[in-house]
Amino acid sequence: MTKSAPAELKLREQVVLKLRELILGGELPAGQRVAEIPISERLGVSRTPVRQALTILAQEGLLSAAGKRGYVVHAFSAKDIIDAIEVRGILEGAAARLAAEAGPSEELLQALENCIADGAAIALQDHYGMDDDVRWVEINGRFHRLIVEASANMALISALALNNKLPFASAEAVLGGGTPSRQIARRHHEVLVRAHADHQKIVEAMRLRQGARVESLMQEHARLAEVNVTLFRPD
């Protein structure tokens, strides 16, 4: 990895965050064509991070390929988003229960504690910005991925991977990269603080091998994504 790679990765994730908000907020409406050059000019960045971001958003179900002309924004409703998040909660809850009942390894618990420590550095600070959202994407994704993989249930893992291709279903489909108002930014950060607290409760329940409790916690935790989505979607 080159020295410039972290900066390039951060820029790509910033573009991803901003484009998610433009799509969810209706500034890039369903059916609109999305191409590298116009987006690059609109966001004031080079074409490379835009190209990478568009690929990611296509994998998340927000864009559909439109041949040489780039992509078009995929049509989806608020119900589509909520349904997909609810399914994620059910699947991740089952994964957490299986991992807890099997007895989580010390390696797993330590890895989850590392996620909590990294998350605390973001959630508990006084000021919060786009770079923090970029960091949270990685931390939150890592936390959820560890739990899902610990279930050792390939059918469940495959089902979750399929669900993650729906708009805003994935634990890594974070919003907040260009919050349109200070009020929304504050409420968005409050959701993140609650998510961090949930992570702590989830790890505690896993350590105690409380399968039913951790399943319930994971399902409730997923619903925070629904709360966050409503901050950025006008309807």
Per residue of the chain (235 residues), give pLDDT as tens: 434 447 787 889 999 999 998 999 889 999 999 999 999 999 999 999 999 999 999 999 999 988 776 899 999 999 999 999 999 999 999 999 999 999 999 999 999 999 999 999 988 887 777 788 889 989 999 999 999 999 999 999 999 999 999 999 999 888 875 555 777 778 888 889 999 999 999 999 999 999 999 999 999 999 999 988 887 776 6
Do 68 and 142 lie in one domain? The reply is no
Total count of domains within the chain? 2
* CATH classification at residue 204: 1.20.120.530
Do 97 and 53 lie in one domain? The reply is no
For residue 109, give its domain range: 78-232
Distance CA 213, CA 199 (A): 13
Q: Which residue has the tokens 């709360």?
A: 227
DSSP letter assigned to residue 75 = P
- Token pair for 4: 């410039």
Out of 73, 107, 122, a domain closes at 73
Out of 18, 46, 73, a domain closes at 73
Do 60 and 96 lie in one domain? The reply is no
Do 138 and 180 lie in one domain? The reply is yes
Do 44 and 153 lie in one domain? The reply is no
Predicted pLDDT at 2: 38
Predicted pLDDT at 108: 98
The answer to whether the beta carbons of residues 165 and 59 sit under 8 Å apart is yes
* CATH classification at residue 16: 1.10.10.10
Distance CA 175, CA 179 (A): 8
Do 65 and 106 lie in one domain? The reply is no
Do 66 and 128 lie in one domain? The reply is no
Predicted pLDDT at 194: 95
Do 106 and 191 lie in one domain? The reply is yes
| Residue 168: Cβ within 10 Å count | 28
Predicted pLDDT at 112: 98
Phi/psi of residue 34, nearest 5 degrees: -125, 120
What is the pairing mode between strands 33-34 and 63-65? Answer: unpaired
Do 112 and 217 lie in one domain? The reply is yes
The Cα angle at residue 175 between residues 232 and 34, in degrees rounded to 5: 85
